[in-house]
């Protein structure tokens, strides 16, 4: 007589399956929070809208009555673009922050380490000073070009001489380029009043006032950066075991770091070009993601991207409420949130290892 047996998971597989289910549920929860925040972003502002009004504002046609036409203009031309930009830029900065910490094995690294923020700032003030640009659609491309060139210069400097490719060399090169570009930006801005005024507004970091004519092209660069980032995640896990171990396991360290730097530059450069520099976001969400998902970058990076979108979106919503009838830029609130977060992490000794 044949007896049937039920195959039971081995003790080694059970914890891995439990961790996978927990991480999946966590991703679903963060995604749900992001959806709720996006809906709130469409409803909250100088004029509060009910869910029914948001619905009509999204789908009402031009033949609607005057009240619905006003609501449609508010929702479709003001709140939808800033909501989309907050989500896209938040994902880009969150993923970029997690990646730069992984590639440099530096737990306090941020996308600004590559000089993308100061590179974009310098390009903006130069374009305004030389060409008199005032429209974001005109100087956003200079911002992206400046961010990309700064990233290339930093990576190039860190790849020559002794310690080439070393995470410490990359950090030092990034700091040197950042200081130099910041000084040049100040020099140009102080010599041109229009450039100084534009820089003051742009440097605050805001998702407001940017149309889809800027958002869609910028999103294309961010999608390209995300594709490159996702392709390198298994190798990032190996890099965090040390260069010698990764090389012994067959990782082409130079190639992987090059692809990673390109991905980070695309992500951070495009987001910075559209929104202005937003400090601390990538740094914060990378640590929260590591706490929620663990050190595996195949999970940590998606968590960081979603958390980045949530934080930037919530900060933008809060900024519309706290100083009514005016607004407080999202970048200011992110910095106000990030500074104490950074201090607490240092106090608790969380920066000893990535």
Query: How far from each other are the two terminal CA atoms of the chain, in whole angstroms?
Result: 57
Kindly tell me if the per-residue pLDDT of 351 is higher than 70: no
Q: Quick count: other Cβ atoms within 10 Å of Cβ 145?
A: 16
DSSP codes, 216-285: HHHHHHHHHHHHHHHHHHHHHHHHTT-HHHHHHTT--HHHHHHHHHHHHHHHHHHHHHHH----SHHHHH
Q: 54 or 170: whose pLDDT is higher? A: 54
Q: How confident is the model at residue 354 (pLDDT cuts 50, 70, 90)?
A: very low
Q: Which of 108-117, 215-224, 271-280, 336-345 has the highest mean pLDDT?
A: 215-224
Distance of CA 349 to the CA centre of its chain: 25
Q: What is the pLDDT of residue 317?
A: 95
Q: What is the mean pLDDT of the chain?
A: 84
Average pLDDT over residues 147-160: 82
Average pLDDT over residues 77-103: 93
Q: What is the pLDDT of residue 1?
A: 44
Model pLDDT for residues 57-69, shown as the tens digit of each residue: 888 666 555 666 7
pTM: 0.88
Model pLDDT for residues 157-207, shown as the tens digit of each residue: 877 766 555 667 777 888 889 999 989 988 888 888 877 877 777 788 889
- The secondary structure of residue 210, as a DSSP letter, is -
Phi and psi based region of residue 77 (left: phi greater than 0; alpha: psi -120 to 50; beta: remaining): alpha
Q: How confident is the model at residue 330 (pLDDT cuts 50, 70, 90)?
A: very high
User: By mean pLDDT, which of 9-13, 19-23, 302-306 is the weakest?
Assistant: 9-13
Q: Is 40 in contact with 318 (CB distance < 8 Å)?
A: no
Q: Report the topology of domain 22-347.
A: ABC transporter involved in vitamin B12 uptake, BtuC (1.10.3470)
Average pLDDT over residues 24-45: 94
Q: Is 310 in contact with 262 (CB distance < 8 Å)?
A: no
Kindly tell me if the per-residue pLDDT of 39 is higher than 50: yes
The domain spans of the chain are: 22-347
279 CB-near residues (< 8 Å, 6+ apart): 110, 112, 117, 205, 331, 334, 335, 338
What is the spatial distance between Cα 195 and Cα 198, in angstroms, rounded to a whole number?
Answer: 5
Rg value, the chain, Cα: 22
Dihedral of alpha carbons 91, 94, 96, 99, sign:
negative
Kindly tell me if the per-residue pLDDT of 41 is higher than 60: yes
């Amino acid at each position: 007589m044949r007896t049937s047996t039920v195959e039971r998971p081995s003790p080694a597989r059970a914890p891995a399956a439990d961790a996978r289910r927990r991480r999946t549920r966590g991703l679903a929860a963060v995604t749900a929070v992001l959806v709720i925040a996006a809906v709130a972003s469409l409803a909250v502002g100088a004029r509060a809208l009910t869910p029914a009004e948001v619905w009509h504002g999204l789908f009402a046609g031009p033949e609607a009555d005057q009240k619905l036409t006003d609501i449609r203009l508010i929702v479709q031309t003001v709140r939808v673009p800033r909501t989309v930009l907050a989500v896209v830029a938040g994902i880009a900065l969150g993923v970029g922050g997690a990646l730069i910490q992984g590639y440099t094995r530096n737990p306090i690294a941020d996308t600004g380490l590559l000089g993308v923020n100061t590179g974009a700032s310098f390009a903006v003030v130069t374009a305004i000073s030389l060409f008199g640009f005032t429209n974001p659609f005109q100087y956003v491309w200079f911002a992206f070009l400046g961010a990309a060139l700064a990233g290339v210069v930093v990576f190039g400097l860190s790849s020559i001489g002794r310690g080439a490719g070393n995470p410490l060399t990359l950090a030092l090169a990034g700091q040197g380029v950042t200081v130099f570009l910041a000084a040049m930006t100040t020099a140009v801005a102080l010599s041109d009043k229009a450039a100084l005024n534009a820089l003051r507004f742009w440097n605050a970091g805001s998702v407001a006032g940017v149309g889809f004519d800027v958002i869609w092209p910028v999103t294309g660069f961010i999608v390209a950066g995300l594709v490159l980032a996702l392709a390198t995640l298994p190798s990032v896990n190996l890099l965090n075991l040390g260069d010698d171990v990764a090389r012994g396991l067959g990782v082409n360290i130079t190639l992987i770091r090059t692809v990673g730097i390109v991905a980070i530059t695309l992500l951070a450069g495009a987001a910075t070009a559209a929104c202005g520099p937003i400090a601390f976001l990538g740094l914060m969400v990378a640590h929260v993601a590591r706490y929620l998902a663990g050190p595996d970058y195949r999970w940590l990076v998606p968590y960081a991207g979603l958390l980045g979108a949530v934080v930037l979106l919530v900060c933008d919503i809060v900024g519309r409420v706290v100083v009514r009838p005016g607004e407080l830029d999202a970048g200011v609130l992110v910095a106000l949130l990030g500074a104490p977060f950074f201090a607490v992490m240092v106090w608790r000794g969380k920066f000893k290892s990535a």
